[in-house]
């Protein structure tokens, strides 16, 4: 049995494979083409978003028994075919959930308190305190869409800062009872009442462009949108229009529909250029879950999940 790790990981995971006497090939810079040439050699393959897993590629990996996805994303992975092929699939959404939740809060506080603008002005010896008055969020209503690992942590942290937190999750019910100051509501109620909406849902066919012009029309005028989940969940053009015309007061975006700037088409590039110039947006390059702490946690959680499956899949002893 051999393992292949195709992305940058904390040494904890590599040490784990060594302790388990599982030969591990570490190729964090591997290209997709090179990966397709060697994937048939391995029973365990660890990937990140760089490697997609459609049915055609799964069929090429003839020895594959276990896929480990670093992080939380499931987009690009044919999980139904994996299940039908008796291939196990594990991921680590809990490992970087706290990092994402904290990052989202940081972006929000920066936006409502004009911190980006204030920082730049002070650096340029500009001292306009009156123009930089911020807004306290304690009296604002926070809406959270998706109450999984990240959404629940974000909502819980926000419940300490805001008097009212609303949550909507299409696939859950009666999940807020143990949480203080969080109310489970319908999507319509959340859109109508939330001053701030934070997205914590996976990218699927169902959620692609779920936040579009029609969605935004149903929201409270002047809403703030936070997206730290997946870029294509939000229609960038519709978001931009809402920001320009004041329907949306601001946006905090850590993820984008196109995260490879050199591949952006000319027409789309104009949308991004306009978005990047707006003063009422806070932007970061998909780093919400990218902390030193989560880097370690992801490898640790992955090793623990693999370890639980080794005996079942490969008839290994569970003792490291």
pLDDT tens-place string over residues 270-308: 999 999 999 999 999 999 999 999 999 999 999 999 999
On whether both 160 and 218 belong to a single domain, the answer is yes
Would 161 be classed as within a structural domain? Answer: yes
On whether both 196 and 307 belong to a single domain, the answer is no
pLDDT at 91 over 60: yes
Percentage of the chain surpassing pLDDT 90?
A: 80
Average pLDDT over the chain, rounded to whole? 93
Alpha-carbon distance values, 34 to 6, 29, 37, 60, 97 (Å): 11, 10, 5, 13, 31
CA distance 101 to 96: 9
Region 258-275 average pLDDT: 88
On whether both 11 and 134 belong to a single domain, the answer is no
Single pTM value for the model? 0.92
Would 320 be classed as within a structural domain? Answer: no
pLDDT at 71 over 50: yes
What is the pLDDT, as a whole number, of residue 316?
Answer: 61
On whether both 66 and 167 belong to a single domain, the answer is no
**Cα–Cα–Cα angle for 311, 312, 314, rounded to 5 degrees:** 65
Q: How many domains does the chain have?
A: 2
Is the pLDDT higher at 58 or at 311?
A: 58
Catalytically active residues, by annotation: 230, 259, 286
On whether both 124 and 180 belong to a single domain, the answer is yes
The radius of gyration of the chain from alpha carbons, rounded to an integer in Å, stands at: 22
HEC string for 21-32 = CCCEEECCCCCH
Write out the residue range of the structural domain in which residue 218 sits: 97-283
User: Is the sign of the CA dihedral 165, 282, 222, 199 positive or negative?
Assistant: negative
On whether both 128 and 274 belong to a single domain, the answer is yes
Region 202-215 average pLDDT: 95
Convert the pLDDT of each residue in 213-260 to its tens digit: 999 999 999 999 999 999 999 999 999 999 999 999 999 999 999 988
Alpha-carbon distance values, 199 to 100, 194, 230, 240 (Å): 11, 12, 9, 17
pLDDT at 317 over 80: no
On whether both 199 and 146 belong to a single domain, the answer is yes
Would 261 be classed as within a structural domain? Answer: yes
Neighbours of 163 (CB within 10 A): 12
Lowest mean per-residue pLDDT among 47-56, 131-140, 166-175: 47-56
On whether both 20 and 60 belong to a single domain, the answer is yes
Task: Work out the pLDDT band at 175, boundaries 50, 70, 90.
Answer: very high
pLDDT at 28 over 80: yes
On whether both 76 and 135 belong to a single domain, the answer is no
CATH number of the domain that residue 270 is part of:
3.40.50.720
On whether both 123 and 269 belong to a single domain, the answer is yes
Would 319 be classed as within a structural domain? Answer: no
On whether both 102 and 46 belong to a single domain, the answer is no
On whether both 80 and 146 belong to a single domain, the answer is no
């Amino acid at each position: 049995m051999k393992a292949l790790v195709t992305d940058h990981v904390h040494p904890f995971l590599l040490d784990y494979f060594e302790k388990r006497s599982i030969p591990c090939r570490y190729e964090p810079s591997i290209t997709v083409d090179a990966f397709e040439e060697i994937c048939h050699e391995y029973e365990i393959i660890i990937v990140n978003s760089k490697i997609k897993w459609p049915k055609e590629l799964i069929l090429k990996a003839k020895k594959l028994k276990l896929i480990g996805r670093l992080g939380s994303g499931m987009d690009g992975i044919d999980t139904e075919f994996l299940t039908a092929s008796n291939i196990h699939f594990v991921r680590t959404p809990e490992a970087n959930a706290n990092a994402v939740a904290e990052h989202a809060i940081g972006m929000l506080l920066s936006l409502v308190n004009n911190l980006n603008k204030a920082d730049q002005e002070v650096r340029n010896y500009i001292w306009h305190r009156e123009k930089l008055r911020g807004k306290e969020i304690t009296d604002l209503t926070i809406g959270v869409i998706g109450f999984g690992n990240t959404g629940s942590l974000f909502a819980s942290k926000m419940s300490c800062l805001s008097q009212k937190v609303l949550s909507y999750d299409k696939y859950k019910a009666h999940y807020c009872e143990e949480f203080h100051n969080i109310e489970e509501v319908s999507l319509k109620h959340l859109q109508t009442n939330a001053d701030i909406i934070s997205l914590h849902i996976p990218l699927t066919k169902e959620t692609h462009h779920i936040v579009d012009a029609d969605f935004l029309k149903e929201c409270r005028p002047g809403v703030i949108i936070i997206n730290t989940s997946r870029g294509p969940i939000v229609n960038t053009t519709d978001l931009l229009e809402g920001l320009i015309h004041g329907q949306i007061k601001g946006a905090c975006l850590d993820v984008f529909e196109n995260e490879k700037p050199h591949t952006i088409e000319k027409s789309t590039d104009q949308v991004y250029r306009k978005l990047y110039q707006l003063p009422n947006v806070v932007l970061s390059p998909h780093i919400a879950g990218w902390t030193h702490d989560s880097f370690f946690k992801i490898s640790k959680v992955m090793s623990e999940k693999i370890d639980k499956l080794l005996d079942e899949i490969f008839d290994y002893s569970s003792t490291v």
